């Protein structure tokens, strides 16, 4: 259709007004980008050159969006290259750091699309034009390139951003949260992406950047609890090792709004290895675990261990209680509600009760 209109205009000596806009401030060039029609856009660019019509390649049209920004949001590599070629051929510099009304910009839009080739095009263009990219700027939702790449689990783009920051002496944001209270580390651990977590920790160490390793998001998840959620022992150990190296002590007795602390959560997940690690961490940092406090469901570690028929965990918790002069108050009602209990667990509980009696301590 476009080629027919152009042919008709040429035959009748009519010059098409490519820069005229409709009531929505759209012109034919922007429409071609919007509908993702590369053939349409080429025809219009060629026509503009023949008729010596100046196209403002950086003009902001819809919602303050430029052509290149919209092309990045469409993930059309060929169209992006066409726009870059047009700008180069007309000695124009694309405003790749410019923002739309949502405060999003080309790099952020490209990373959001999760297309590595498109992201590389931006880095290459910036390098060729001696442009320093704004790699830390946030949009109106608090999102920024590194956090966006981590949200997408894109290791390659995370590496690209870190390399670019290093080469251009730019301190990279690694702690800032978005509007959902998510930060790079929180997001990476929650996504169970240990490679990205390692990159963040290494960046922090190498660049001497303090990392908020014990912070929570809006849902009250923090790195250690997310590692337990994902059943990732390696991740848990990695976080603890980093914290020890940086002399950061985790508040492992911290409760969520439902009254659940870390060891209670690990017990509920029936993971003995995590319980061991938490106990070891507490012992190494002179922390007394609050293993007798119940959450809103009336549960605490020993009850979860009994409920899951986990003898080893029961023994671990009893041993910890004895070593720290704690009394595990286990009501008959709590046990009666458990359908089947392993005989060895019953023996362990009876032995614990007898030891308490012998020590003249009251046990319910």
The number of helices, as runs of H, and strands, as runs of E, in the chain is: 19, 0
* Distance set, CA 254 to CA 111, 258, 263, 308 (Å): 35, 11, 10, 24
pLDDT of res. 125: 96
Assigned CATH topology for domain 1-134:
1.25.40
Q: How far apart are CA 64 and CA 70, in angstroms?
A: 10
Structure tokens at 48: 């503009």
CB contact at 8 A, 161 and 135: yes
Structure tokens at 294: 């119940």
Note whether 1-134 and 154-250 share their fold. yes
Count other C-beta atoms under 10 Å from residue 303's C-beta.
24
Query: Using CA atoms in the order 148, 154, 155, 158, what is the torsion angle rounded to 10 degrees?
Result: -30
pLDDT of res. 190: 96
Q: How far apart are CA 134 and CA 153, in angstroms?
A: 21
Residue owning tokens 């960046």: 203
Question: Coil, strand or helix: which one is 305?
Answer: helix
Let me know if 278 is exposed, middle or buried by CB neighbors in 10 A (0-12, 13-18, 19+).
Answer: buried
Domain ranges of the chain: 1-134, 154-250, 254-364
* Distance set, CA 322 to CA 302, 330, 352 (Å): 13, 15, 9
Query: Using CA atoms in the order 97, 99, 105, 106, what is the torsion angle rounded to 10 degrees?
Result: -60
Structure tokens at 49: 């050159």
> What letters, b where the CB count within 10 A reaches 16 and e where it falls short, cover 93-112?
ebbbebbbeeebbbbbbbbb
pLDDT of res. 65: 84
Alpha-carbon Rg for the chain in angstroms = 30
Assigned CATH topology for domain 154-250:
1.25.40
Structure tokens at 243: 């914290």
pTM (predicted TM-score): 0.89
pLDDT of res. 265: 97
Q: The domain 254-364 belongs to what CATH superfamily? A: Ankyrin repeat-containing domain (1.25.40.20)
pLDDT of res. 106: 92
DSSP, res 140: T
Structure tokens at 341: 């209990």
**What's the distance, CA 325 to chain centroid?**
42
The long-range contacts involving 39-42, CB below 8 angstroms and separated by at least 24 positions, are 40/2, 41/79, 41/82, 42/82
Rounded to the nearest 5°, which phi and psi values hold at 13?
Answer: 55, 45
Q: pLDDT 10s per residue in the chain (364 long)? A: 667 777 666 666 777 677 777 777 788 888 888 888 889 889 888 888 888 888 888 888 767 788 888 888 888 899 999 999 999 999 999 999 999 989 999 999 999 999 999 999 999 999 999 999 999 999 999 999 999 999 999 999 999 999 999 999 999 999 999 998 999 999 999 999 999 999 999 999 999 999 999 998 888 999 999 999 999 999 999 999 999 999 999 999 999 999 999 999 999 999 999 999 999 999 999 999 999 999 999 999 999 999 999 999 999 999 999 999 898 888 777 666 666 788 888 888 888 888 777 765 444 4
What does the DSSP assignment read for 86-127?
HHHHTT----TT-B-TTS-BHHHHHHHTT-HHHHHHHHHHHH
Q: How far apart are CA 325 and CA 241, in angstroms?
A: 29
**What's the distance, CA 253 to chain centroid?**
25
Structure tokens at 31: 């429409």
Q: How far apart are CA 224 and CA 269, in angstroms?
A: 13
């Amino acid at each position: 259709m476009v080629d027919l209109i152009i042919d008709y205009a040429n035959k009748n000596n009519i010059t098409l007004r490519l820069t005229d806009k409709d009531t929505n401030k759209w012109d034919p060039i922007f429409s071609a980008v919007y509908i993702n029609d590369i053939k349409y856009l080429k025809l219009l660019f060629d026509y503009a050159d023949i008729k010596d019509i100046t196209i403002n390649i950086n003009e902001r049209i819809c919602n303050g969006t430029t052509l290149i920004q919209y092309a990045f949001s469409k993930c059309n590599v060929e169209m992006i290259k066409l726009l870059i070629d047009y700008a180069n051929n007309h000695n124009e510099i694309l405003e790749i750091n410019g923002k739309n009304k949502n405060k999003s910009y080309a790099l952020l839009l490209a990373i959001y699309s999760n297309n590595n080739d498109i992201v590389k095009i931006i880095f290459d263009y910036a390098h060729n034009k001696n442009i320093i990219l704004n790699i830390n700027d946030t949009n109106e939702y608090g999102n920024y390139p590194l956090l966006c790449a981590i949200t997408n689990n894109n290791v390659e783009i995370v590496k690209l951003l870190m390399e670019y920051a290093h080469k251009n002496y730019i301190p990279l944001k690694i702690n800032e949260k978005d509007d959902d209270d998510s930060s790079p580390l929180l997001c990476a651990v929650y996504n169970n992406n240990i490679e990205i977590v390692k990159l963040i920790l290494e960046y922090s160490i190498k660049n001497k950047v303090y990392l908020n390793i014990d912070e929570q998001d809006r849902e009250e998840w923090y790195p250690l609890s997310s590692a337990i959620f994902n059943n990732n022992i390696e991740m848990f150990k990695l976080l603890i090792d980093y914290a020890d190296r940086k002399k950061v002590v985790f508040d492992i007795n911290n409760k969520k709004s439902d009254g659940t602390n870390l060891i209670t959560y690990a017990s509920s997940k029936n993971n003995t290895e995590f319980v061991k690690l938490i106990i070891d961490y507490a012992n190494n940092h002179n922390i007394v675990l609050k293993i007798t406090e119940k959450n809103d469901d009336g549960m605490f570690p020993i009850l979860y261990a009994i409920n899951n028929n986990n003898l080893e965990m029961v023994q671990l918790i009893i041993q910890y209680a004895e070593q720290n002069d704690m009394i595990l108050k286990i009501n008959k009602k709590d046990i009666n509600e458990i359908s089947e209990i392993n005989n060895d667990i019953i023996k362990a509980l009876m032995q614990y009760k007898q030891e308490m009696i012998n020590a003249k301590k009251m046990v319910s």
